Copies of this chain bind each other. A is one copy, B any other.
């Protein structure tokens, strides 16, 4: 057992997989000598050399494309975007090349695309985004979003071993704020499996990433009022654990979906749509969503605080739904 942060868990996961499998390598801006903008890859160059930890020119299409080519040849590249906002620059080659190649040719492109995402750190419009929805309508891609150090490590290792392209969303707000006691043995969290973080019978809060923690806070607050919320951490978004969601809704009859990305077109809409189609008979209240406001991510603290779902807002929405 050792206590590690979310950030260290990712680094450890990378380290273990690179040791286990020679075909794993890391590619991105300032990942080798500098160890990455947030220090996720600190020390990896010392362990694995510049041959497997590659600093690149500033060229998101270039190095993502190179990862695709290497993956075709049987390597298992891990691509770091310095901030995940910059994955937007590689949107075309990811959705059109990486995502379609198995379907078209039978040969897949196993690769992981990872980097720091999310708000709450006063990063402004271009260093705070939640890009999951951009890729959510592209079959062939997988998307995971760990909320804890344990899942960060376990999902990263599974992503590296997965045979298809996986977008691995690291929430930078959690990098140093989340810690877990990790067992020394192998940790593997299967892609596609969610988890009930807190049991409850009055309503289901369906969430992932940073919002897991605010949702749990909200659930704790409501507990004191006698409202028992079940909190589901999806962990994977594509594919997501529809069965777990439906099972919970069938029990509670009420669904509150919470995410940090903006509301309109956020992935929460898909969860809501599935619930209202597949658990219609069980619903005792409107499927409710709490998400950031439909604006770019503002920078200044009072604005960003207004923009993002607070624990208070989640609590209020959950209470309202519970009393419905």
* Chain A 48-72 interface 0/1 with B at a Cβ cutoff of 8 Å (1 = within): 0000000000000000000000000
Identical chains in the assembly: 2
Query: Does A296 contact B133, Cβ atoms closer than 8 Å?
Result: no
A308 to chain B, nearest CB (A): 14
Chain B residues in 8 Å Cβ range of A270:
264-265, 269
* Chain A 95-122 interface 0/1 with B at a Cβ cutoff of 8 Å (1 = within): 1100110011000000000000000000
Within 306-320 of A, Cβ neighbours of B (below 8 Å) are at: none
Determine which of B92, B273, B278, B295 lies in contact with A269 in the assembled complex, contact meaning CB atoms within 8 Å.
B273
Known A270-B265, A287-B277; judge A125-B137 contact (CB<8 A). no
Within 236-285 of A, Cβ neighbours of B (below 8 Å) are at: 238, 261-262, 264-270, 272-273, 275-278, 280-281, 283, 285
Query: Does A283 contact B280, Cβ atoms closer than 8 Å?
Result: yes
Chain B residues in 8 Å Cβ range of A264:
136-137, 139, 238, 270
Query: Does A273 contact B268, Cβ atoms closer than 8 Å?
Result: yes
Chain B residues in 8 Å Cβ range of A296:
99-100, 103-104, 139-140
Report the Cα distance A238→B262, complex, angstroms. Answer: 14
Query: Does A91 contact B134, Cβ atoms closer than 8 Å?
Result: yes
Chain B residues in 8 Å Cβ range of A294:
139
A286 to chain B, nearest CB (A): 4
Chain B residues in 8 Å Cβ range of A104:
125, 296
Known A100-B296, A296-B104, A296-B139; judge A276-B267 contact (CB<8 A). no
**A23 part of interface (Cβ distance < 8 Å):** no
Known contacts A88-B91, A269-B272; 18 additional CB pairs below 8 A are A86-B92, A88-B95, A91-B92, A103-B296, A133-B265, A134-B134, A137-B264, A139-B264, A264-B270, A269-B269, A272-B277, A273-B276, A276-B283, A276-B287, A277-B288, A277-B289, A280-B283, A280-B287
